[in-house]
Structure 1
Amino acid sequence: MKIGIPIEIKNNENRVGMTPAGVFELTKNSHTVYVQANAGFGSGFFDEDYQEAGAVILNSIEEVYASSDMIVKVKEPIEKEYALIKPNQVVFTYFHFASSETLTKAMIKSNAICIAYETVEDADGALPLLVPMSEVAGRMSIQQGAKYLEKPIKGRGVLLGGVPGVPPGKVLVLGAGVVGIQAAKMAAGLGAHVTIMDINMKQLRYVNDVMPNHVVTEFSSEYNIRKRIKESDLIVGGVLIKGAKAPKLITKDMLKDMRPGTVVVDVAVDQGGCFETTKATTHEDPTYMIDDVVHYCVANMPGAVPCTSTVALTNVTLPYIVNLANLGWKKACDMNPLLAKGLNIVKGEIVYEEIAEAFNWNTKVLQN
């Protein structure tokens, strides 16, 4: 198979779909890998590294798409790429369709095979291709939140860890999944007082067992959220419903109950966000203010630390990529029902129900 690795052209996205080590595995299996010139530069990989691994370097993104049977990316295609995608071409990447009707319609029109990293499942229902980026984003949420709490950038002026004689800052984490646990771990490491909420008591018991005493658990309800936001300095949203839009746990009217300079970080922004006031931002312009509350809603947070993120991503995607390349997408998905759950749109048809539900669409209507 011919596999293409284009440059990511989303704003300030420095990751790349595959490391040279991944290319080596594919070429070892007699596949051809086309890498766009300088695609790996932001992640610390150079064209010479890819060539030594067996890749063919192409100068333009148009050449990469035109030459490839399968495109391996990091982020969803943006408008400039829509016309480059060919019918029957496999596109393997993070899509997060539920957050973008425009992208969904474009991929339906393309007649491509869209396999989404974020809906591939393990036997236990975990999302193995989402986990490493959720780990990065969860840890970054505290790193960024701590920064934006500084007064010169309109935060409350709170040091999360406090100092002797001054109490630490208070962090509220919504969701006790991968993002939430990593956020709580980082906040606790800084010395903050952390409250983590979820509706899954099994997860809360796990958090209670593994976290230090200054991380407390609480059942997630609107009443409890409304109570906690009044005293929180930093609020992290990390809830996830597989393939569907995130629930709105914090509504616009709740902002008036927060103290001026409170920072909210919505890690669920890729799936539409779990705050009603969320709108996707970029690393170039990451924050905005509503009712004196600082909103950080960057849709590709791990793109800011690509040297870590690209390697972490390739570690988990490569076995699936090799499988798709060796067997072809249909046979690979027939033989592996967990990979098949990554199929979102196939040749103009939505095959992942939650996507149609996100827009209240009838999939049969879309096909006509």
Structure 2
Amino acid sequence: MNVLVLGAGQLARMMALASKPLNINVRAYDVGSERVVDPLSLSVDYGDLAQGILDADAITAEFEHIAHDVLAACEQSGKLFPSSQAIKTGGDRRLEKTLLAQAGVANAKHKIIANKFEFDEAIESLTLPLIMKSALAGYDGKGQWRLKDKSEAEAIWQEIKSFIEGDTSGRPQAIVVEQMVPFDREVSMVGVRSKTGQTLAYPLTENHHSKGVLSVSLAINEHQNLQAQATEAFDKIANALDYVGVLAIEFFQVGDSLLVNEIAPRVHNSGHWTQQGADTCQFENHIRAVCQLPLGSTELVRPTAMINILGTDSVPHSILEIPSVTLHWYGKGKRAGRKMGHINVCGSTRTELISRLTQLSTMLPNADFPDVNEYVSTL
């Protein structure tokens, strides 16, 4: 069986690695070169998109911002999972907000604006502070502005105006203006839905971000009330999209309640811990779903944490002396801020995990992992 992944980055790579034991071959469509390649080597050329679609038994995606003509060609084949509409929804915050309203899932108060009149109106109708996010092309903290005082409004509008005018997506750009949520922490859920409608959810993870980019994810399965809320939201969203595959939802925790921050129609950075912390990792479960194979268990088998490796291509080899530490490199060239790999660490209990995570954090260079040690010390 052959699966074509739209996108040739680290998520396609990890899907390919997880698929090998199932005797499933994964190829990746590189949106830059417009060629189908081996996601593990990137050097083997299997032809263009048309050939890739012809050779594939199933087609999926590793990111949301895919050209609509590419999605249309894949959807026409009847092999694309999840649907093009689901992928587009994850890549356009306007569609995402509409989906959340239709599914009856709580999220932050917001307005959608595209001009100065709507910008001013949003400031008057919502309570400051506000966060403003581009509807298209924003990720890892990019395409975002924060307004804390009305005196800053004109300067921020000028930045937004330039951003909108400079957009090259070929589609109308807009800004989602959200009332900032005074959250206690950020959590996320990765779940999977089969073509027949079966849904399974992994445990909620607690997420720590550094400069808008995920730094650490912690899976310990301690909050059953929140787990139930997140699972209900996952089912509502996945069913509304008639979704097939792995879907991630990021939440704000406010007291004992969850508000959806955003969704990602794909395998997700905050689910990398599943490689060592679950019987069936998110990558294998995504492939199982799109290939219409039985889904695997999403139960937490041991408390696990994931640390992102950002902008560096080396870590001390001594970290591998710590029991249950696993290193995952993506085979990328070093670039500031780039996701180069991740480290998973596990323990048989929460206490053991925190002990190993603390030891690991003290061994990592502070220059490359600036606030990991500080975050771990709060656990």
- Same fold per TM (> 0.5)? no
TM-score (norm 1): 0.31
Q: Scaled by the length of structure 2, what TM-score is found?
A: 0.30
**Higher helix residue share:** 1
